[in-house]
């Protein structure tokens, strides 16, 4: 079970990386079209339709899908100035508290982003660019990513109980 | 409850959550939720969901993962290895000699990476052993490194300026351009300080070990030239109005990849590592931005920042007095929080106050970044100090002491841009709206 979950986090993280590369390719494609438009107007279409919208949706996908992977890699910033000075036993309880609080908040967010998706399906909301995109498609990726983050937090909580000692890490600053 | 009581309650809650080690983004969300549920009538779940979605796919924010990726790729290419050998021949005659490698190496690398800790680690790994071997004084080696690495936050393309721009809805292009002159000013201050120390005490600096002909100099720095050109292209295309920062960032990723491959010693596995590292960093920053956006929306519903702003304007404070108070506040905040958290907290709560007294938001962004730079080298939470401690094993207080003159130089920088705001606003003013 644990190994399967880890696999899922990493696959979703890799998809996020792929999405960022796609954004890069899409925007570069548009830059090439711009350049062509200056040099010899008319040979190629001047824009990729709604490329800014698509980049944005891919960015949202990249962010939400990477949430769980980043959490597991210790990539989200937290302040450990106080807790790292506590005795191991107290640190253990603090981490349990942190994980429960986070699970409640992220669960709440996952629930309401989920209902946002249902609402978009119900009203048939589309993006207002040249190419209308049904909003529930990128939104369900967001809902899935947040739910996966919830799973990763609960997974970490179970591991914390099993280990019986503090396990959370903190990243360097960017 | 009265406004000041609400503000204090929320602040205490935030401090409590952060101190307990709750993730910064989650802490911001909880404070936002508390504000909405207790002090407004807005439907908190709906507001949360629509903010999380609405702020996650904007065009300016798209520049963030791309600039991070550009830095990660160049970080893994050979260029960082060449920084010392490439710069040393040019600087060996300057007063203070090779200490300037720290200052200029950090500046160039900062332009590439936009991260202060990565700058300190990468430049320090090469320059600390080389400079120590040649007999330069420890305090100046560490001081110049810690101080100059903070420039990573200001020199465009800067990640933290993107964060500020997205959070306050300011033009990122204008912020980048506004950062150029203050960055030049700070580099000059740092280099000037080293030169003055060398003049005052010539025994401090070991003698020149070797002279170079112009040709040798060029050859030593041949790998740095393409990187300089890359940065020039990226910044130039934004400055010239040819590309938005997001376009320029995509171009930067492509050029950086070509550069890394052509320099040799780059592989698919390094490329993959760069992409995954960029994915995690950008995810972390985006989540904090989402939490901060929600906190801002929530604070908007409670009306606190507006009331705080009108209270501040009713005090008839001079802009100078307000800035002095804010600077002290940020330095204290920066002792305990990382730069990005300081920026997003500020924008949620303090921005209306700042615009109410007539401070230019672009100018304020640059000011804020320099103040955050100062907090990078103050204990107990100064990320550059941690990095250098990791590199050298020297006690953190000794590092902080070595970095203190540079803290004062940054403070001088803040005073200068406050007296002469044109240093910030001149270049963006040239490009008009």
B286 interaction partners in chain A (CB closer than 8 Å): 59, 63
End-to-end Cα spacing for chain A: 33
Return the bridge partners of A134, or none: A126
B383 interaction partners in chain A (CB closer than 8 Å): 172-173
Please state, in angstroms and as integers, the Cα–Cα distance from residue B134 to each residue in B20, B90, B100, B130, following that order.
Answer: 45, 17, 14, 6
Residue B433 pLDDT > 70, yes or no? no
Query: Residue A66's closest CA among A18, A2, A1, A114?
Result: A18
The CB density around residue A50, as the number of other CB atoms within 10 Å, is 17
The CB density around residue A143, as the number of other CB atoms within 10 Å, is 25
pLDDT tens profile A1-24: 889 999 999 999 999 999 999 999
DSSP codes, B274-333? HHHHHHHHHHHHHHHHHHHHHHHHHHHHHTHHHHHHHHHHHTT--HHHHHHHHHHHHHHH
Annotate B307-328 with b (16+ C-beta within 10 A) or e (fewer).
bbbeebeeeeeeeeebbeebbe
pLDDT at A174: 40
Query: Residue B158's closest CA among B112, B227, B224, B189?
Result: B112
State the Cα–Cα distance between residues B44 and B294, nearest whole angstrom: 10
pLDDT at B412: 95
| Backbone dihedral region for residue B22 (phi beyond 0: left; psi -120 to 50: alpha; all else: beta) | beta
Contact A171 B247 (CB under 8 A): no
Contact A82 B159 (CB under 8 A): no
pLDDT at B118: 75
CB contact at 8 A, B222 and B228: no
Contact A63 B283 (CB under 8 A): yes
State the Cα–Cα distance between residues B105 and B127, nearest whole angstrom: 9
Token pair, residue B202, equals 């010539």
pLDDT tens profile B51-65: 999 999 988 899 999
A100 interaction partners in chain B (CB closer than 8 Å): none
In angstroms, the separation between the Cα of residue A60 and the nearest Cα of chain B is: 5
pTM (predicted TM-score) = 0.88
State the Cα–Cα distance between residues A58 and A33, nearest whole angstrom: 20
B115 interaction partners in chain A (CB closer than 8 Å): 173-174
Taking residues B311-331, report their average pLDDT: 83
Instruction: Decide: residue A111, CB within 10 A, 0-12 exposed, 13-18 middle, 19+ buried.
Output: middle
Contact A79 B381 (CB under 8 A): yes
pLDDT at B377: 85
pLDDT at B209: 67
Name the maximum alpha-carbon separation found in chain A. Answer: 70
In angstroms, the separation between the Cα of residue B96 and the nearest Cα of chain A is: 30
State the Cα–Cα distance between residues A88 and B144, nearest whole angstrom: 37
CB contact at 8 A, B259 and B230: yes
pLDDT tens profile B142-170: 999 989 988 878 888 888 899 999 999 89
Packing angle, helices B172-200 and B245-262, rounded to 10: 60
Which of A26, A27, A28, A125 is the best mutation test for B, with the most CBs of B within 10 A?
A: A27
pLDDT at B1: 65
Which of B14, B73, B283 is the best mutation test for A, with the most CBs of A within 10 A?
A: B283
Residue A38 pLDDT > 90, yes or no? no
In angstroms, the separation between the Cα of residue B246 and the nearest Cα of chain A is: 8
B33 Cβ neighbours under 8 A, 6+ residues apart:
A105, A108, B44, B48, B298
Query: Residue B408's closest CA among B381, B370, B369?
Result: B370
Instruction: Decide: residue B214, CB within 10 A, 0-12 exposed, 13-18 middle, 19+ buried.
Output: exposed
| Nearest-by-CA chain A residue for B118 | A174
pLDDT tens profile B124-148: 888 888 888 888 888 889 999 989 9
pLDDT band at B3 (very low <50, low <70, confident <90, very high): confident
B369 interaction partners in chain A (CB closer than 8 Å): none
| Nearest-by-CA chain A residue for B282 | A63
Token pair, residue B197, equals 């120390």
pLDDT at A173: 43
pLDDT at B280: 93
Taking residues B94-99, report their average pLDDT: 83
| Chain centroid to CA B15 | 23
Residue B428 pLDDT > 80, yes or no? yes
Sign of CA dihedral B271, B272, B276, B279: positive
The pLDDT > 90 percentage for chain B reads 33
- What ipTM is given for this predicted complex? 0.94
State the Cα–Cα distance between residues B340 and B166, nearest whole angstrom: 12
State the Cα–Cα distance between residues B154 and B147, nearest whole angstrom: 12
In angstroms, the separation between the Cα of residue A117 and the nearest Cα of chain B is: 10
CB contact at 8 A, B165 and B126: no
| Nearest-by-CA chain A residue for B52 | A113
- Partner residue facing B381 (CB), from A81, A98, A139: A81
Residue A43 pLDDT > 90, yes or no? no
- Partner residue facing B48 (CB), from A20, A30, A109: A109
Packing angle, helices A136-163 and A2-39, rounded to 10: 140
pLDDT tens profile B213-233: 778 777 877 777 887 888 888
Contact A111 B250 (CB under 8 A): no
A13 interaction partners in chain B (CB closer than 8 Å): 276, 279-280
pLDDT tens profile A100-149: 999 999 999 999 999 999 999 999 888 888 888 899 999 999 999 999 99
Mean pLDDT of chain B, nearest integer: 86
Residue that wins the pLDDT comparison between B406 and B228: B406
- Partner residue facing A79 (CB), from B287, B290, B337: B337
B293 interaction partners in chain A (CB closer than 8 Å): none
The CB density around residue B34, as the number of other CB atoms within 10 Å, is 19
| Nearest-by-CA chain A residue for B253 | A24
| Chain centroid to CA B254 | 23
- Most confident option among A158-172, B197-211, B362-376: B362-376
Mean pLDDT of chain A, nearest integer: 90
Token pair, residue B62, equals 């798209």
Taking residues A41-54, report their average pLDDT: 83
State the Cα–Cα distance between residues B282 and B70, nearest whole angstrom: 12
Return the bridge partners of A126, or none: A134
């Amino acid at each position: 079970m644990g190994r399967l979950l880890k696999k899922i986090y990493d696959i979703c993280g890799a998809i996020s990386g792929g999405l960022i590369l796609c954004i890069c390719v899409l925007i570069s494609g548009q830059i090439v079209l711009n350049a062509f438009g200056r040099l010899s107007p008319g040979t190629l279409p001047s824009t990729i339709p709604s490329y800014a919208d698509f980049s944005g949706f891919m960015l949202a996908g990249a962010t939400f899908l990477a949430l769980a992977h980043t959490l597991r890699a210790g990539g989200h910033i937290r302040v450990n100035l106080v807790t790292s000075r506590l005795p191991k036993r107290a640190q253990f309880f603090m981490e349990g508290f942190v994980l429960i609080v986070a699970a409640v908040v992220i669960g709440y967010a996952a629930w309401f982003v989920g209902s946002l998706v249902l609402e978009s399906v119900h009203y048939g909301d589309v993006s207002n660019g040249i190419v209308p995109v049904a909003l529930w498609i990128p939104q369900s990726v967001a809902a899935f990513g947040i739910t996966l983050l919830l799973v990763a937090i609960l997974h970490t909580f179970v591991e914390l109980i099993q280990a019986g000692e503090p396990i959370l890490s903190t990243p360097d600053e960017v | 409850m009265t406004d000041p009581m609400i503000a204090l309650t929320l602040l205490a809650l935030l401090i409590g959550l952060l101190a307990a080690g709750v993730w910064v983004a989650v802490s911001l969300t909880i404070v936002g939720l508390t504000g909405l549920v207790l002090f407004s009538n807005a439907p908190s779940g709906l507001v949360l969901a629509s903010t999380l979605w609405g702020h996650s796919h904007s065009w300016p924010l798209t520049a963030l993962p791309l600039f991070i990726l550009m830095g990660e790729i160049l970080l893994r290419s050979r260029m960082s290895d060449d920084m010392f050998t490439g710069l040393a021949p040019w600087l060996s005659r300057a007063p203070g000699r090779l200490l300037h490698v720290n200052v200029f190496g950090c500046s160039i690398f900062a332009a590439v990476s936009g991260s202060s800790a990565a700058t300190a680690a990468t430049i320090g790994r090469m320059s600390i052993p080389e400079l120590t071997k040649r007999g330069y004084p420890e305090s100046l080696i560490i001081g110049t490194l810690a101080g100059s690495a903070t420039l990573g936050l200001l020199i465009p393309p800067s990640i933290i300026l993107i964060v500020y721009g997205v959070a306050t809805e300011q033009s990122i292009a204008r912020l980048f351009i506004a950062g150029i002159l203050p960055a030049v000013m700070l580099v000059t201050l740092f280099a000037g300080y080293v030169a003055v120390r060398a003049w005052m005490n010539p025994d401090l600096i070991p003698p020149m070990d070797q002279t170079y002909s112009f040709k040798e100099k060029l050859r030593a720095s041949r790998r740095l030239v393409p990187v300089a050109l890359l940065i020039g292209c990226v910044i130039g295309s934004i400055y010239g109005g040819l590309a938005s920062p997001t376009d320029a960032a995509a171009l930067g990723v492509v050029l950086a990849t070509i550069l890394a491959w052509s320099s040799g010693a780059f592989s698919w596995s390094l490329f993959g590592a760069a992409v995954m590292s960029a994915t995690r960093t950008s995810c972390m920053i985006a989540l904090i931005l989402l939490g901060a956006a929600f906190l801002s929306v929530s604070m908007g519903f409670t009306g606190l920042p507006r009331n705080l702003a009108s209270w501040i304007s009713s005090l008839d404070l001079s802009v100078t007095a307000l800035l002095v108070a804010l600077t002290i506040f940020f330095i204290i905040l920066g002792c305990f929080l990382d730069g990005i958290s300081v920026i997003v907290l500020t924008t949620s709560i303090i921005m209306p106050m700042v615009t109410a007294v007539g401070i230019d938001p672009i100018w304020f962004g640059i000011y804020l970044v320099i103040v955050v730079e100062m907090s990078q080298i103050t204990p107990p939470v100064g990320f550059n100090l941690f990095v250098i401690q990791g590199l050298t094993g020297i006690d953190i207080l000794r590092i902080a002491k070595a970095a203190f003159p540079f803290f004062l130089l940054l403070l001088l920088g803040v005073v200068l841009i406050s007296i002469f705001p044109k240093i910030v606003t001149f270049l963006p003013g040239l490009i008009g709206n």
